[in-house]
Amino acid sequence: MTLDLLLTHYNYWVVIFLMMVGFYILISRGNLIKKIVGLNVFQTSVFMLYISLGKITEGTPPILVDGYGEADVVYSNPLPHVLILTAIVVGIATTSVGLALAVRIKEAYGTLEEDEITGIEAGIEPAGEAGG
Amino acid sequence: MLLTLLAATGFALLRIRNLFAVVMLAGVYSLLSAGLFTVMDAVDVAFTEAAVGAGISTVLFLGALALCGHHESKPGHTPLLPLFVVCLTGAALVYGTMDMPGFGEASNPVHHHVADHYLEESYGEIGIPNVVTSVLASYRGYDTMGETTVVFAAAVGVMILLVGGARARRARGGGEG
């Protein structure tokens, strides 16, 4: 019973492990670029979860063999694939905006470390670099 | 197994502090996940991930690193609180999977809502053998249109941020010199 559960849920658990690695990078690291990498890891793990849901054992990719979907073939579920295609492209868009923001923050504050930025915000503004 | 390899890469990502190596590892991670998508029958997703995740995003990260430097300083505070939060969330999620049906069973409820319709009718209705394409471009066409809107908005945002920054720098240089 336990072994059975392990075999049928192994995929989901590794996905959750990766998701948590991404989450941990996101909340525990101060460097903004490292945070974006963590966000990407998290995001890819969600993709893997969806694709795992769409997989059918012994299935083939959802490209119709005879053109009518009547051959005796099992296809994997195409719907998660479509959703994830959209999500990948949106993900790269958000990543690029995040990186552009990081570049601007680096220009304005001279650092990408969260602690130092908070320090600068609380203390004196560096001369001539304020605003953005 | 591919998944175990992915887990190892994820762990290495966490430990390494040189951001250049981190970005390269992120590319490896992306490529591994593309391999995993192929194994799980999602060929369209796999090549999108290989092109976008391993290709374009690595280039973007490298560009950002070239502008920002690639050193990450040591984390200043103890990792205990984040570790606790992460373990708690992970445990909750694993508890959630206990009720989920097993991996790859054809009788899972996900496979029997609209997916059957797409597989059986899409050739007659649309005429493209690749079901993913017909769902993407036709049944969920508005979704794809929304996606292009998001990409457009992101491109405009990036341009405003970077061009605005360059202009501010030039104005400052002009004012001082």
Q: Tens digits of per-residue pLDDT, A67-120?
A: 555 556 777 888 888 888 888 889 999 999 998 888 888 888 877 787 788 888
Element (H, E) at A79: helix A78-109
| Rounded CA separation A46/A66 (Å) | 33
Does A132 have pLDDT greater than 60?
no
Query: How confident is residue B177, by pLDDT bands cut at 50, 70 and 90?
Result: very low
CB B42 within 8 A of CB A76: yes
* A-B contacts (CB, under 8 Å): 272
Hey, what CATH topology would domain A2-122 get?
A: Helix Hairpins (1.10.287)
The token pair at A55 is 């997989």
B19 touches chain A (CB under 8 A): yes
| Rounded CA separation B19/B24 (Å) | 9
Q: How many Cβ atoms from other residues are within 10 Å of residue B162's Cβ?
A: 16
Q: What is the mean pLDDT of residues B124-128?
A: 74
Q: What is the mean pLDDT of residues A1-23?
A: 78
Per-residue pLDDT at B153: 92
Does A131 have pLDDT greater than 50?
no
A:35-74 residues touching chain B, CB 8 A cutoff: 36-37, 40-41, 44, 47-48, 51-57, 59-64, 67-69, 74
Does B51 have pLDDT greater than 80?
yes
Per-residue pLDDT at B174: 55
Q: What is the mean pLDDT of residues B72-101?
A: 79
Handedness of CA A102, A108, A109, A114 (dihedral sign): negative
**Chain B residues close to A69, C-beta within 8 Å:** 119-123
Query: How confident is residue B76, by pLDDT bands cut at 50, 70 and 90?
Result: low
Does B15 have pLDDT greater than 60?
yes
Cβ contact (<8 Å) for A51 and B45?
Answer: yes
Does B176 have pLDDT greater than 50?
no
For chain A, the domains span 2-122
CB A43 within 8 A of CB A66: no
Of residues A69 and A10, which shows the higher confidence score? A10
Q: What is the mean pLDDT of residues A59-69?
A: 69
**Chain A residues close to B10, C-beta within 8 Å:** 17-18, 21-22, 41
| Rounded CA separation A84/A44 (Å) | 10
Tell me what the pLDDT averaged over chain B comes to: 79
A118 touches chain B (CB under 8 A): no
**Chain B residues close to A89, C-beta within 8 Å:** 48, 52, 147, 151
Phi and psi at A63, nearest 5°, equal -120, 115
Does B33 have pLDDT greater than 50?
yes
Does B89 have pLDDT greater than 80?
yes
Number of H helices, E strands in chain B: 8, 0
Q: What is the mean pLDDT of residues B45-72?
A: 83
Chain position carrying tokens 């029958």: B41
Per-residue pLDDT at A1: 56
| Rounded CA separation B121/B129 (Å) | 11
Q: Which residue of B has its CA nearest to A71?
A: B120
CB B129 within 8 A of CB A67: yes
Query: How confident is residue B95, by pLDDT bands cut at 50, 70 and 90?
Result: confident
SS3 of residue B1 by DSSP: coil
Helix, strand, coil tally for chain A in percent (to 5): 70, 5, 25
Per-residue pLDDT at A107: 82
Instruction: Look up residue B145 and give its amino acid.
Output: M
Per-residue pLDDT at A71: 58
**Residue A81: which of B149, B147, B133, B36 has the closest Cα?**
B133
